[in-house]
Amino acid sequence: MNCDLHTHSRASDGELEPLELFRRAKANAVTRLALTDHDTIDGYLELDRLLSAGDEQWDGELVAGVELSAHWQGRSCHIVGLWIDPASSPLTTFLSGQRQVREDRAEAMDKRLQKAGISGALAGARELAGTAVLSRPHFARYLVGAGHCANEQQAFKRWLGRGKCADIGCRWPPLAEVVDVILSAGGIPVLAHPDKYSFTRTKLKQLLADFVDCGGAALELLSGRQQANVTASLLRLADEYGLASSLGSDFHSCAQHWCDVGSMGELPAAAVPVWTLPAASPSPQPVASSL
């Protein structure tokens, strides 16, 4: 069983259309795939519809997922929701709110960029985003395309990253609210990429304690390409806080060949896989009437 439970499509800041992402996963022998776009399930819904039409042969499970942006102690953190009910009304209401937060943030970012002498960033980012949720990588792509910098990484380093001029602070809902919305949609809240926040171990432990307190159930033991010592350390934390383990590439684009879809291998034998939790059941299929 090759699982990838954290991926992005064009519905958020990924490069591939949901179906293209699925085909790449299938080609890489993934048998359990979660599409976890930032703050939207539009890509998942599209892919689920296409797969339900039966044109793609695949002996695997598509997991309903999402990656929600949250606020914790002045920082943003990401909570992946897996096996969510996409029809949950608290969830869909929450996602509309996130879209609005992103729109408001984008306007504030545009003003900051204008002050820094860059015009047209909001319009440019909107055009690149199309119907996707508007995110910083769309601004980064605009800045690269308009010749302000050489690559997206530079755009984050100079304008968009933490503490830079277009960082307008964290406006996401609190961690507890985000975890709660996932639980109310019947899903499993998973702390995404715990090693990517650059927290001290003490601070990461505080985050884990708060996460568990409000109902968090798992952490991403393997995220993209990761050093073995990081995995070992996270496994100890998962054990200490009674968390199950997930894994995902956090795939965004084909250029990131070092963390391709389904490239993380397997969870260590000592980990409790997130798919063994009771809430990890495939969504019920319509039962054919026998009448």
The contact set with Mn ion (CB under 5 A) reads: 13, 67, 78, 192, 250
Say how far apart CA 30 and CA 28 lie, in whole Å: 6
Nearest approach in angstroms of CB 83 to Mn ion is: 17
Residue of the chain from 72, 83, 94, 156 that contacts ligand AMP (CB under 6 A): 156
Q: How far is CA 232 from CA 2, 206, 244, 251, in A?
A: 20, 19, 14, 22
In the stretch 2-41, what mask flags binding to ligand AMP with x, by CB under 6 A?
-----------x------------------------x---
Q: From the CB of 196, what's the least distance to Mn ion, in Å?
A: 7
**Sites for ligand AMP among residues 157-176 (CB under 6 A):** 161
In the chain the first and final C-alpha atoms are separated, in Å, by: 37
Q: CB neighbours (10 Å) of residue 208?
A: 22
Token output for 211 = 């996460």
Nearest by Cα to 6 from 285, 184, 171, 196: 196
Instruction: Determine if 89 is a binding residue for ligand AMP (CB under 6 A).
Output: no
Q: Which candidate, 219, 280, 245, 267, places its Cα nearest to that of 2?
A: 267
- Binding test (CB under 6 A) with ligand AMP, winner from 2, 40, 88, 135: 135
Among residues 40, 69, 226, 246, which is the contact residue for ligand AMP, using CB under 6 A?
A: 69
- Please say which residue, 139 or 275, places its beta carbon nearer to ligand AMP: 139
Interacting partner of 69 out of Mn ion, ligand AMP, none (Cβ under 5 to 8 A depending on kind) = ligand AMP
DSSP character string of 219-256: EEEEESS--HHHHHHHHHHHHHHT-EEEEE--B--TT-
The stretch among 17-25, 151-159, 218-226, 257-265 that binds ligand AMP (CB under 6 A) is 151-159
Three-class HEC string of 123-147 = HHHHHHHCCCCCCHHHHHHHHHHCC
Cα 120 to chain center, whole Å? 28
Minimum gap (Å) between residue 55 Cβ and ligand AMP: 30
- Cα distance between residue 226 and residue 24, in whole Å: 21
Binding segment (CB under 6 A) for ligand AMP, from list 91-99, 148-156, 183-191, 272-280: 148-156
Residues 234-253 that bind ligand AMP (CB under 6 A): 252
CB under 5 to 8 A by kind: which of ligand AMP, Mn ion, none does 136 bind?
ligand AMP
For ligand AMP, the binding residues (CB under 6 A) are 13, 38, 69, 135-137, 152-153, 156, 161, 252
